[in-house]
Structure 1
Amino acid sequence: MTRCRLCGSEAMASVVDLGATPPCESFLAAGQLDKPEPAYPLHLRVCTDCWLAQIPPLITPEETFSEYAYFSSYSTSWVEHARTFVADAVQRLPLGPEAFVVEVASNDGYLLRHVVDRGIRCLGIEPSVNVGAAAREAGVPTLTEFLSPDTGSAVRAEHGPADLVVANNVYAHIPDVVGFTQGLRALVAEDGWVSIEVQHLLTLIEENQYDTIYHEHFQYYTVASATRALASGGLALVDVELLPTHGGSIRLWARPAGVADEPTQRVADVLAREKAAGLQELSGYTEFSARVAKVRRDLLRFLIEAAERGETVVGYGAPGKGNTLLNHCGIRPDLLPYTVDRNPYKHGRFTPGTRIPILPPEQIAADEPDYVLVLPWNLRAELVEQLSFVHDWGGRLVFPIPELSIVEAASRKGTA
């Protein structure tokens, strides 16, 4: 990478180099195990002019998202998060029966179904054919397309301007930051709102959340860098919320620059926190690589010692972030014989690079392992409850991030 994709600067500094890994959602079918598997460098750098953290765009969104393995509706807490957001947005903006809501990267309709339930006109724009089809089957109008300025203009011409444009967990997934932002501006009404949720680089650095660095995520935002990115497409940041999702996210509220009010005090407060953490100078990034290396050493030490004691460790979940962790740590089936996932799409497949089998969740109760390594650690509260049955045989849960943590599984309600 020679130039920043936002400002064009060549002043790029290394943050952490995770080696080369396969794309994190390229799960393998059994028939692919004897075939070559491409791997790409995974090296996070930061632009010291605009402070946008980014990886090289070695994989196109078309390669990743035309058919996608992630279905948002399989996370109970994520569906509830979406329901709460819709309820709050209806009150905040407000959104009446004549409103029009567009969600970009709408996945399987996990969020817009709540808009449909309220009788508000909506449209999802989702590039993945398979998950877009699931959304339409659930009654959510969905266009199979990538967002660009032309797509935004075409949707606006056919459906009218959107009172609210939602872009949750997609702003990191597009290499053309400026073009995508121009697409958002094309969609939104002159007096409308854009709401974006994206992981916060501040918590990624502070909490060692390096497994959320993968090839689908082309950039990693602070509020400062997000403000500059929004401005590149004619949008102005007016408010921000700090969210616990994905280990720590920011919800950005933006409007067309011509109608935007001055940013709220919350924006100023978060900008001050980022500056205090050193994220607008190299000092905020220099220790991150060493802390990442410690996560790797601690997890490998635990797995090796458990194996030498004859104890069994299996995985829970097959998220994209888990594949960054497994590949960086070099974990193979000798240390983790399988993982499980609630998504039937992944059953019978294997994790990219590490080739660990993915089984249905019921396998854990059948085998009663000593430990369950929880790969979607960001859903800790939800999964401690879901995995309460592990307590029945004295099993324990292992969380690798932000540091290795071994906890007792919560006992089931009404049992000892």
Structure 2
Amino acid sequence: MHCRLCGSADLESVLDLGATPPCESFLTAAQLDDPEPTYPLHLRLCRECLLLQIPALVSPAETFTEYAYFSSFSSSWVDHARTFVQESVRRLDLSDESFVVEVASNDGYLLQHVVDAGIRCLGIEPSVNVGAAARESGVPTETAFLDPSTAARVRAAHGPADLVVANNVYAHIPDVAGFTEGLRTLVSDHGMVSIEVHHALHLVADAQFDTVYHEHFQYWTVLTATRALAKGDLTVVDVEELPTHGGSVRIWATPSANAGPPSERTLDLLAAEQRAGLHHVVGYRGLEKAARGVRATLLEFLLDCRRRGERVVGYGAPGKGNTLLNYCGIRTDLLEYTVDRNPYKHGRFTPGTRIPVHHPDRIAADSPDVVLVLPWNLESELTEQLSYVAEWGGRVVFPLPVLHTADIGRLDTSEALA
């Protein structure tokens, strides 16, 4: 394996999660007796440029032609997108004469707010089924992967964009150089590119191993993102820390010829990474041990529940949850089933662990003792949604960053589970 950013062959293992199936390859009942392909999920660090990455064993075309994830099923994520659009309109003085492009626009969860603001826009979404949902909701969407040729074609047809949005996609592309070149082609010389990524600072500091899966080819610090964008003639001028996905960063970049000096926030966050040891190889070497500790704590809790005869079910069927389930070896003997708001997943089974996925109404019907929340990064939203579990004395448990019971009117959020 060679580093996909700098080409170095000097890579160090920092987290080996074994072999798992692709995280969104949910199985139908008819597929349960079929063999299921698995691929190594092995996180490495480039000693030269410090990019965290996994081998590109599952191509984006295999993952995203038909995709199980629809962003609009998370109300907090839609609210996050609405706020971003409102703030961007003010920040960049966007008007009905502006043009906004979103790359990996999913089901139009973000661009719907651009449409509502009367601003011309276009989504570029590779998943056929998800892009179709966006068009049905009135969001102009082209089905394509972003590469230099796609970007040139879009720019020729629509003109340069004042704002290019690439939220939670910069980790999903193995061809970093080609994708970054595409971003530069799309944006006008005085425009802005806004990129949101999960911040590797939190991945390492909080042992968020479940954010590692085959869709994510690399994991970004501000330092490595700055280096990658510079290869495409884009300069980072500002950053914002975000609570999404357990700790993310929004990176603002602009064509290098017109870029000013980096903001104070950018310098501060680079300094925070430096203090955390992430600008040196040694800062990453405790991740595997920490991940094993999280796994041991969760398994001990679930085994204790089983010994007490408690019924444990899951909430959510996100990609990160499937990394957690497979790495921990959790199956239906420890987690009877899980539920999800996305109807695409109903009646299917989680990849690898074969745990059935039901409609969320199943929880109220069964009154389980424990609800284990797999999208733990949505704790605020889901604690409120699951408050009814207190009606029968049930508990809502989040596995990360530290295993704990949520406060749903009966327990204290600080109560740790041993």
Q: Is the 8 A contact 2:383 2:407 kept in 1?
A: no
Q: Is the 8 A contact 2:383 2:406 kept in 1?
A: no
In the TM superposition, what are the counterparts of 1:318-329 in structure 2 within 5 Å? 318-329=317-328
1:72 maps to 2:75: no
Residue 379 of structure 2 corresponds to 380
The Cα offsets for residues 154-206 of structure 1, whole Å up to 9 and x where unpaired, read as: 00000000000000000000000010000000100111110000000001111
Q: Distance in 1 between matches of 2:47 and 2:238?
A: 25
TM-fit CA distance, 1:232: 1.0
Residue 413 of structure 2 corresponds to none
Residue 192 of structure 2 corresponds to 193
Q: Per the alignment, in what secondary structure is the counterpart of residue 258 of structure 2?
A: coil
TM-fit CA distance, 1:208: 1.4
Q: Per the alignment, in what secondary structure is the counterpart of residue 406 of structure 2?
A: strand
Query: Could you tell me which amino acid in structure 2 is paired with residue 371 of structure 1?
Result: V
TM-fit CA distance, 1:404: 1.3
1:172 maps to 2:171: yes
1:121 maps to 2:87: no
Residue 294 of structure 2 corresponds to 295
Q: Distance in 1 between matches of 2:47 and 2:276?
A: 15
Query: Could you tell me which amino acid in structure 1 is paired with residue 126 of structure 2?
Result: P
TM-fit CA distance, 1:11: 1.4
Q: Distance in 2 between matches of 1:241 and 1:157?
A: 32
Q: Distance in 1 between matches of 2:311 and 2:124?
A: 43
The Cα offsets for residues 304-341 of structure 1, whole Å up to 9 and x where unpaired, read as: 11111100100000000000000000001111110000
Q: Calculate the TM-score normalised by the size of structure 1.
A: 0.98
1:153 maps to 2:152: yes
In the TM superposition, what are the counterparts of 1:23-172 in structure 2 within 5 Å? 23-172=22-171
TM-fit CA distance, 1:287: 1.2
Point out where structure 2 has 5 or more consecutive residues left out of the alignment: 411-418
Q: Distance in 1 between matches of 2:230 and 2:112?
A: 30
Q: Is the 8 A contact 2:245 2:377 kept in 1?
A: yes
Q: Is the 8 A contact 2:50 2:281 kept in 1?
A: no
Q: Is the 8 A contact 1:384 1:410 kept in 2?
A: no
In the TM superposition, what are the counterparts of 1:189-338 in structure 2 within 5 Å? 189-338=188-337
Q: Distance in 1 between matches of 2:290 and 2:389?
A: 30
Aligned residues: percent identity?
Answer: 68
Q: Is the 8 A contact 1:391 1:408 kept in 2?
A: no
TM-fit CA distance, 1:406: 2.2
Query: Could you tell me which amino acid in structure 1 is paired with residue 239 of structure 2?
Result: V
TM-fit CA distance, 1:408: 4.1
- Across the two proteins, how many residue pairs are aligned to each other? 410
Q: Is the 8 A contact 1:385 1:410 kept in 2?
A: no
Q: Distance in 2 between matches of 1:380 and 1:271?
A: 27
Moved more, 209-218 or 280-289: 280-289
Q: Is the 8 A contact 1:395 1:408 kept in 2?
A: no
Q: Distance in 2 between matches of 1:271 and 1:137?
A: 42
Residue 348 of structure 1 corresponds to 347
TM-fit CA distance, 1:97: 1.2
Q: Is the 8 A contact 2:170 2:197 kept in 1?
A: yes
Q: Per the alignment, in what secondary structure is the counterpart of residue 257 of structure 2?
A: coil
TM-fit CA distance, 1:94: 1.2
Q: Report runs of 4+ in structure 1 exceeding 6 Å deviation.
A: none
Q: Per the alignment, in what secondary structure is the counterpart of residue 254 of structure 2?
A: strand
Moved more, 263-272 or 280-289: 280-289
Query: Could you tell me which amino acid in structure 2 is paired with residue 324 of structure 1?
Result: T
Q: Distance in 2 between matches of 1:25 and 1:360?
A: 17
Q: Distance in 1 between matches of 2:48 and 2:282?
A: 14
Point out where structure 1 has 5 or more consecutive residues left out of the alignment: 412-416
Q: Per the alignment, in what secondary structure is the counterpart of residue 119 of structure 1?
A: coil
Q: Calculate the TM-score normalised by the size of structure 2.
A: 0.97
Query: Could you tell me which amino acid in structure 2 is paired with residue 276 of structure 1?
Result: R
The Cα offsets for residues 66-91 of structure 1, whole Å up to 9 and x where unpaired, read as: 10000000000000000000000000
The Cα offsets for residues 34-68 of structure 1, whole Å up to 9 and x where unpaired, read as: 00000000010111111110000001000000100
Q: Distance in 2 between matches of 1:74 and 1:45?
A: 32
TM-fit CA distance, 1:410: 3.8
Q: Distance in 2 between matches of 1:286 and 1:110?
A: 37
1:394 maps to 2:393: yes
Query: Could you tell me which amino acid in structure 2 is paired with residue 130 of structure 1?
Result: N
TM-fit CA distance, 1:285: 1.0
Residue 414 of structure 1 corresponds to none
Q: Distance in 2 between matches of 1:389 and 1:208?
A: 30
Query: Could you tell me which amino acid in structure 2 is paired with residue 380 of structure 1?
Result: E
Residue 409 of structure 1 corresponds to 408
Q: Per the alignment, in what secondary structure is the counterpart of residue 131 of structure 2?
A: helix
Q: Distance in 1 between matches of 2:409 and 2:313?
A: 18
TM-fit CA distance, 1:256: 0.6
Query: Could you tell me which amino acid in structure 1 is paired with residue 350 of structure 2?
Result: T
Query: Could you tell me which amino acid in structure 1 is paired with residue 358 of structure 2?
Result: L
Query: Could you tell me which amino acid in structure 2 is paired with residue 263 of structure 1?
Result: P
Q: Distance in 2 between matches of 1:162 and 1:326?
A: 41
Query: Could you tell me which amino acid in structure 2 is paired with residue 224 of structure 1?
Result: L
Query: Could you tell me which amino acid in structure 1 is paired with residue 237 of structure 2?
Result: V
The Cα offsets for residues 252-305 of structure 1, whole Å up to 9 and x where unpaired, read as: 000011111111111110111101111111221111111100111111111111
Q: Is the 8 A contact 2:20 2:39 kept in 1?
A: yes
Q: Distance in 1 between matches of 2:93 and 2:409?
A: 41
Q: Is the 8 A contact 1:125 1:145 kept in 2?
A: yes
